[in-house]
């Protein structure tokens, strides 16, 4: 009989519980630091100059080819602030709360070279089973993605992140890998994926796959061998206790293997944890991170990365990257060392390969060797992290009335609380890599319908003009809506963000020619559901706005991922937010200003120079006007101005 010895593998249908479980399974301590208050005074330099601006989503003409050359591979916790981030907080406080006084002593370069192409990258995340079905079986596939590459390029995206497409029993939507080296038959073949790499590169698009290094499916060949009673090469590939009746403080399963032991889980019952060792050992069966078994696991993961990079993959997004070594503590020293070894090995062979971590503590992730870390959406017991404060500050993904998000026109407050968490982390990693904003992802509720189109447009204005490499989740560019749906493949509350892409008004909204009953998930039945074809006809659509923002980002070096940011205005009483971005070579300074609220607001942006006679408004939403260093922002407005 199967024994489940931990209630932690239960799953309540809420994003709150999803966040809580990930935290528990990673050994996270959720202690969001709400004590740091950002000073209300405006800081920085620069000003918005325009006589009287009242415009919509238009942008200056002047399109040019911005495609990257096709990349050819080399031939052969969470605490709100990490140790480094807390140091930046102390540094901030020690300078009287003025970010300008933080000296540039955080610019120490990493031991790893970052791929140059990331500085101008904009990623598009694709959930493969829901993007485009090319053969009418109701499930999206790799040829379907290939057929939509021109659309992706038309957005201004030049990089892809594809969620797991490996062979799997799909008890966790592909995050339970059965064979790392084989494309799941429902998505196509390895040859189809190699062709996708080729076609993407021909369009200047890089492709990241999703690496799941912490666990496999219980159906993986490694696990089938590991669970045998007789010792073999894979006996120590997973974490086993010494008895079928011995448990541990982590989730574990007993009664399902030949060997007299229980095995540790990483998430669901079907996902046994791979053995990277224990930093702190309190049982005889726990191995050191320096053990031959842990080293063999690291080597196996490097071989998997090498396999796909050699076929044309450009890198990996890494699932639960900070959870490899168990009992590792908040600072993750042994997990960092494990990644330094693995990424050091693979980057020596493929120096232009890129790696982005699901970690959420950028100082740790970049020290480990990752090029990018996500600003993830976390909410524990109703307490939001910085990203959650921006766009999802509610316990219910569909609750408009109770939403206190910054981008909620009626419910939000000052941007200061977000900045108190973001700025220390940004300062701690400045010049070392990228802290990246997402519009959403496969684990996060979409912004719509909770946020209106106008609220989403202001939010995208910020997400796509901040430092770091932005990631757009498929369908967000048209405002696809989160829906309350029954669970599918372990999605639970996440299922509502994984529905089929809405291309047009034809059968199944253009996602599939198959029978509607055969679809992976049902399409949005609302007659007003957004779709690409309709929005391409409207200059005021969400799609047009996203394209305008990405065109602007591509055209201006001050909006590149590495270009520094300075906060200019963040009133304690009010909704406005303004910041500058400056090209690394100093050739260009842009000011970005927004007001997500329903009332007009006036802010002061310190003047530098005299450009009043030559205003250069690059992009504007709503009413924005400036006189000297005083800027008036109309309701739900956003502007980018060159100063």
Tell me the domains of the chain and their CATH numbers: 3-218+290-642 (3.20.20.80)
- Mean pLDDT value of segment 23-37: 33
Classify 532 as helix, strand or coil.
helix
Over residues 70-85, the pLDDT tens digits come to 333 333 333 333 333 3
Neighbours of 575 (CB within 10 A): 24
pLDDT of residue 607: 64
- Mean pLDDT value of segment 326-349: 98
Q: How confident is the model at residue 486 (pLDDT cuts 50, 70, 90)?
A: very high
Over residues 150-162, the pLDDT tens digits come to 999 999 999 999 9
pLDDT of residue 614: 57
Return d(Cα 28, Cα 159) in angstroms, integer: 31
- Mean pLDDT value of segment 343-349: 98
pLDDT of residue 110: 55
98 pLDDT above the threshold of 60: no
92 pLDDT above the threshold of 50: no
* Phi and psi angles of residue 416, each rounded to the nearest 5 degrees, phi first: -60, -40
pLDDT of residue 615: 57
pLDDT of residue 87: 38
- Mean pLDDT value of segment 445-462: 98
pLDDT of residue 606: 81
Q: How confident is the model at residue 113 (pLDDT cuts 50, 70, 90)?
A: confident
pLDDT of residue 269: 95
Q: At what angle do helices 416-429 and 83-94 cross, to 10 degrees?
A: 110
- Mean of all residue pLDDT scores within the chain: 85
109 pLDDT above the threshold of 80: no
Residue with tokens 């020290």: 367
Of 44-53, 185-194, 269-278, 469-478, give the lowest mean pLDDT range: 44-53
Over residues 229-288, the pLDDT tens digits come to 999 999 999 999 999 999 999 999 999 999 999 999 999 999 999 999 999 999 999 999
94 pLDDT above the threshold of 90: no
DSSP code per residue over 485-505: ----TT-GGGGGG-PPP---S
Residue with tokens 């199944």: 508
96 pLDDT above the threshold of 60: no
Residues 6+ apart with CB under 8 A from 79: 29, 30, 31, 33, 86, 330, 361
pLDDT of residue 643: 87
pTM of the model: 0.85
Give percent of the chain above pLDDT 70: 81
* Phi and psi angles of residue 548, each rounded to the nearest 5 degrees, phi first: -65, -45
Q: How far is residue 540 from each of residues 287, 452, 549, 562, 593, measured CA to CA in Å? A: 59, 14, 13, 30, 20
134 pLDDT above the threshold of 80: yes
* Phi and psi angles of residue 286, each rounded to the nearest 5 degrees, phi first: -85, 130
pLDDT of residue 128: 98
Over residues 611-626, the pLDDT tens digits come to 444 558 999 999 999 8
Q: Is the dihedral of CA 193, 199, 201, 204 positive or negative?
A: negative
175 pLDDT above the threshold of 90: yes
pLDDT of residue 636: 98
Return d(Cα 424, Cα 426) in angstroms, integer: 5
Q: Cβ-count burial of 365 within 10 angstroms (0-12 exposed, 13-18 middle, 19+ buried)?
A: buried
pLDDT of residue 628: 79
């Amino acid at each position: 009989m199967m024994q489940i010895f931990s209630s932690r593998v239960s799953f309540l249908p809420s994003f709150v519980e999803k966040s809580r479980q990930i935290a528990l399974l990673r050994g996270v301590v959720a202690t969001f630091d709400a004590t740091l208050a950002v000073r209300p005074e405006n800081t920085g330099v620069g000003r918005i100059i325009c006589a009287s601006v009242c415009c919509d989503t238009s942008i200056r003409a002047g399109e040019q080819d911005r495609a990257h050359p096709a990349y050819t591979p080399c031939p052969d916790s969470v605490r709100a602030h990490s140790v480094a981030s807390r140091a930046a907080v102390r540094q901030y406080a020690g300078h009287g709360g003025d970010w300008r006084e933080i000296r540039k002593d955080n610019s120490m370069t990493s031991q790893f070279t970052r791929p140059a192409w990331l500085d101008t990258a904009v990623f598009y995340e694709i959930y493969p089973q829901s993007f485009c079905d090319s053969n009418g079986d109701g499930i999206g596939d790799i040829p379907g993605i290939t057929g939509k590459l021109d659309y992706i390029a038309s957005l201004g995206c030049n990089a892809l992140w594809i969620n797991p497409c490996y062979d799997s029993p799909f008890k966790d939507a592909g995050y339970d890998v059965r064979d790392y080296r084989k494309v799941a038959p429902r998505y196509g073949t390895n040859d189809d994926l190699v062709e996708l790499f080729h076609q993407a590169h021909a369009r200047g698009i890089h492709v990241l796959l999703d690496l799941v290094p912490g666990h496999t499916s219980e159906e993986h060949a490694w696990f089938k061998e590991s669970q045998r009673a007789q010792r073999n090469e894979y006996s120590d590939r997973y974490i086993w206790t010494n008895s079928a009746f011995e448990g541990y403080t982590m989730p574990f399963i007993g009664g399902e293997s030949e060997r007299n032991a229980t095995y540790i889980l990483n998430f669901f019952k079907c996902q046994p944890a791979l053995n990277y060792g224990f930093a702190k050992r309190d049982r005889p069966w726990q191995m050191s991170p320096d053990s031959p078994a842990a080293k063999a696991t690291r080597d196996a993961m490097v071989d998997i990365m090498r396999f796909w990079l050699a076929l044309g993959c450009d890198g990996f997004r890494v699932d639960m990257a900070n959870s490899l070594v168990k009992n590792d503590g908040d600072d993750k020293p042994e997990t960092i060392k494990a990644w330094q070894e693995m990424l050091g090995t693979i980057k020596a062979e493929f120096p232009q390969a890129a790696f982005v971590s699901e970690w959420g503590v950028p100082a740790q992730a970049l020290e480990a060797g990752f090029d990018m870390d996500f600003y993830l959406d976390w909410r524990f017991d109703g307490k939001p992290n910085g990203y959650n404060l921006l766009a999802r500050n509610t316990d219910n993904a569909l609750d408009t009335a109770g939403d206190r998000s910054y981008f909620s026109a009626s419910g939000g407050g000052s941007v200061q609380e977000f900045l108190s968490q973001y700025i220390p982390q940004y300062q701690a990693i400045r010049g070392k890599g990228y802290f990246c904003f997402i519009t959403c992802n496969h684990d996060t509720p979409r912004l719509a319908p909770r946020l209106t189109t106008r609220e989403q447009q202001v939010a995208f204005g910020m997400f796509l003009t901040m430092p770091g490499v932005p990631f757009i989740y498929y369908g967000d560019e048209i405002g696809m809506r989160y829906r309350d749906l029954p669970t599918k493949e372990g999605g639970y509350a996440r299922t509502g963000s994984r529905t089929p892409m809405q291309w047009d008004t034809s059968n199944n909204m253009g996602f599939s020619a198959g029978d509607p009953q055969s679809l992976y998930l049902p399409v949005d039945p609302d007659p007003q559901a957004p779709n690409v074809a309709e929005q391409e006809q409207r200059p005021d659509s969400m799609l047009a706005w996203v394209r305008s923002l990405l065109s602007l980002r591509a055209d201006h070096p001050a909006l590149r991922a590495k270009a520094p940011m300075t906060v200019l205005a963040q009133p304690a009483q009010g909704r406005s937010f303004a910041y500058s971005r400056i090209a690394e070579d100093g050739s260009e300074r842009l000011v970005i200003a927004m007001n997500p609220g329903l009332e007009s607001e006036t802010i002061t942006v310190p003047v530098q120079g005299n450009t009043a006679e030559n205003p250069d408004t690059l992009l504007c939403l709503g009413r924005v006007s400036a006189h000297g260093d005083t800027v008036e922002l109309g309701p739900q407005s956003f502007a980018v101005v060159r100063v």
